[in-house]
Amino acid sequence: MPYGGRPPQQQKAWLALIDDPDAYAPRGYQLKAWLFGGQSVAADHALFDVEASGLATIADLFGEDAYFAETGAFWDLQNAAIEAKRVAFIEAGWADAVILSPETHFHSWEYEKTPKRKGGRVYIDVRASGEVVFHEGYLTCKEAARLAKAGGANADGGTNGDGASKAVRPELTSTTQTYIDLHRHAAVRAELLGRSGIALRLMVAHAIAGSPLWRIVVEPQSSRNDAAKESVDESRAEAVFDAARRAVLTILDLPDDEPAVAGGTGYGMCGSHRDLCKLFARLVELPDPMVMDVLTVVIGETLATGSAAVEAVGLEIGVPMADWWQADEAFLDSLRDREVLLAMVAEVAGDMVASANAKEKGKTLKGIIRDHLAGNGGREKREGWVPRWMAFPPAAYTSRGGVGTVEAHARAFAAPDEDAKPDELAGEPGADLAREMAEELDGVLAKGEGESPQGDFVPDPGAERRVEPGAEPSSEAGGESDRLAA
């Protein structure tokens, strides 16, 4: 049998094209289409009985797939079968059965599922390959929306002359609604001025849940080095903070498998764990010490790594890094600078050891540091050593620069330029807004500190210690971990 079941004369015609230098002989999938007189149609796509039709089919090289030799004859029978299917769907109770030609595609996002009892149609998707797909129970999105609108009751519960329900007319116009929203907003924030306890809880709820105007991002603590990330994850500081985070999740009735307390997008579903109003209501129930514990975890989660804020806070509270960190392999393996390693040897082993090993390679210097920190080989164990970069305040080992903690510390405690004029800030981000806010604040202060437009609001010096109704009195400052443990 000739290859592919094609007649010898057709094979001779193709060979003649190959021998003719001025002719084009199709190859690959184009050859297949040329042999079949157009796009090949698989016998499996037929909606009619192939054997009873008498149409010739041709098998491929392996005899696994069969194709119709004459696509024109196939489409005559296929179209007749499609029409029979269309009639059968209508007789079965569907509103209509629409045939989509090969040039028209059925895109699911343009349609909406609609049952037969609500007027759904059947769309018959006919494809150029001969395949036919039946999509039962659909309407276009526009028709589905029109049907849903017609199903609603009007303001009086009546219908129009066609029997369809009229559109509901809202009680307020959009202009009136905006007017009301603005005045209510102004009144609420004016009344909030004398209620610092409520304001604190509202701000914490915003930091946790987010809002259309708030978006707080949790510090990811990411690193391209897996060993560095693992070192942080397994550190004592992370273990202590994670315990505090779990305690806060429990306090706020949030799932204990949440990776963070903060980080809401402001689009939590009403009534969900991240619903702003639900979190605010829960915070109102809590006493001041517990709210401060929640706030501490939230700011800890959102404190940016390597920022000037870390330097400012660390120096303010006097963080003893030796209590929270010990040199590990991840740290020592990351060191590359021989001058720095020699200075570290002097710190952990003494100047004499450093001088004796001044010409040694970095690997040897790292070994000396390891042995003295661990007390191996009869060496005196060096307790509480912290490299200069990690201490508060940080320092460098060389004058070459490039130490991020030192640079962040310099930004945090840079002396302000008292001689700088407002115009000299031009071009800085937010300079115009800062200038406007400064002028507005000067105007308010000129009228008298604490004076409201009505002249009846005077800030209470003890407002920060005010306890809202239902809240427990605030205790004196104590360890946050003690309050969480309680």
> Which residues neighbour 172 within 8 Å (Cβ) at sequence distance 6 or greater?
180
Q: 247, 365, 221, 386: which is closest to 307 by C-alpha?
A: 221
Confidence band, pLDDT 50/70/90 cuts, at residue 330: very high
Please give the pLDDT value at position 106. 87
pLDDT tens for residues 439-467? 665 664 555 444 443 333 333 444 433 33
Query: Which of 403, 334, 321 lies closest to 362 in space, CA to CA?
Result: 334
C-alpha span between 41 and 78 (Å, rounded) = 11
Q: In what order do the strands lie in the sheet with 132-140?
A: 97-100, 121-126, 132-140, 111-113
Backbone angles phi, psi at 136, to 5 degrees: -95, 135
Characterise 254 by phi-psi region: left (phi > 0), alpha (psi -120 to 50), beta (else). Answer: beta
pLDDT at 213: 87
The answer, yes or no, to whether residue 419 has pLDDT greater than 60, is: no
How large is the average pLDDT for residues 366-372? 91
Q: What pLDDT does 452 receive?
A: 40
User: What pLDDT score was predicted for residue 154?
Assistant: 44
| pLDDT attached to residue 316 | 92
- Residue 57 is which amino acid? T
Distance CA 310, CA 313 (A): 5
Q: Find the angle CA(338)-CA(402)-CA(307) to the nearest 5 degrees.
A: 130
pLDDT score of 216: 86
- Structural domain boundaries in the chain: 3-72, 85-148, 183-303
Identify the residue with better confidence: 451 or 296.
296
403 vs 386: CA distance, rounded Å: 15
Q: What is the pLDDT of residues 62-121, one digit of tens each?
A: 556 777 777 788 888 989 999 999 999 999 999 899 999 888 888 888 899 988 888 899
Evaluate whether 341 touches 358 at the Cβ level (below 8 Å). no
Choose from 40-44, 148-152, 160-164, 212-216 the range with maximum mean pLDDT: 212-216
Q: Which of 19-23, 243-247, 279-283 has the lowest mean pLDDT?
A: 19-23
End-to-end CA distance of the chain: 90
Poorest-confidence range of 140-154, 355-369, 424-438?
424-438
Query: Helices marked H in 212-337 — which ranges?
Result: 226-233, 236-251, 276-285, 288-301, 308-317, 321-324, 329-334
Per-residue pLDDT for 331 more than 60?
A: yes
Higher pLDDT, 166 or 213: 213
DSSP reduced 3-state for 70: coil
In angstroms, rounded to a whole number, what is the distance separating the alpha carbons of residues 46 and 40? 13
Each residue of 169-214: pLDDT tens digit? Answer: 788 888 999 989 999 999 999 999 989 999 999 999 999 888 888 8
pLDDT for res 275: 83
- Which of 176-185, 262-271, 310-319, 357-366 is predicted least confidently? 262-271
Helix (H, G, I), strand (E, B) or coil at 57: strand
Q: What residues form DSSP beta bridges with 30?
A: none
293 pLDDT higher than 90: yes
Residue 61: pLDDT band with limits 50, 70, 90: low
C-alpha 270, offset from chain centre: 20
- pLDDT for res 464: 39
pLDDT of the residue at 462: 41
389 contacts 400 by C-beta, under 8 angstroms:
no
> Does position 475 have pLDDT exceeding 70, yes or no?
no
% of the chain exceeding 70 in pLDDT: 72
Please choose, from the candidates 366, 362, 292, 296, the residue with its C-alpha nearest in 3D space to the C-alpha of residue 328: 366
Instruction: Supply the pLDDT for residue 214.
Output: 85
Length of the chain: 486
Please identify which residue in the block is written with the tokens 């001779």: 12
Q: Are 126 and 103 in contact (CB under 8 A)?
A: no
pLDDT of residue 470: 41
Q: Is residue 402 predicted with pLDDT exceeding 60?
A: yes
CA R_g for the chain:
39
Q: Whole-number mean pLDDT of the chain?
A: 78
Listed in sequence order, the residues at least 6 apart from 372 whose beta carbon sits closer than 8 Å to its beta carbon are: 348, 349, 379, 380, 381, 382
Instruction: Assess whether pLDDT exceeds 80 at residue 349.
Output: yes
What are the pLDDT digits (tens) for 223-263?
A: 899 999 999 999 999 999 999 999 999 999 888 888 899 88
CA distances from 381 to 236, 341, 347, 375, 386 (A): 21, 18, 12, 4, 14
Integer CA distances (angstroms), 436 to 128, 354, 370, 422, 431, in order: 66, 58, 57, 11, 9
